[in-house]
Amino acid sequence: MKEQPLELYTKSELAEILNVNESSIYNYVTKGIIKAYKMKGTRRIYFKKAEVEATLTEIDPK
């Protein structure tokens, strides 16, 4: 079976999806909420879609 391609977001894409500032994304990374990745020799930061989705939790309605 063929592997699914790895889906990545840039910092600006993720900020737009979550409707927050890019500085908020930086704060999430420094607090360990979201893991960030980069390719060797580059400065651009990427986020794995599956890991971002895994950090989302359901709110218990009361």
Question: Quick check: is 34 in a domain?
Answer: yes
Domain extent, residue 25, equals 8-55
* Cα–Cα dist 20/53, whole Å: 16
Structure token digits, residue 53: 């989705």
What is the gyration radius of the CA atoms in the chain, in angstroms? 13
The string of pLDDT tens digits covering residues 19-41 is 999 999 999 999 999 999 999 99
Helix H segments across 1-62? Answer: 11-18, 22-30, 49-55
Total domain count, the chain: 1
Whether the model clears a pTM of 0.85, i.e. scores above it, the answer is no
Q: Looking at the predicted structure, is the pLDDT value of residue 47 above 90?
A: yes
And the tokens for 46?
């990427």
Which residues partner with 42 through β-bridges?
none
> Apex CA 27: angle with CA 54 and CA 51, to 5°?
15
Please report whether residue 1 resides in a domain. no
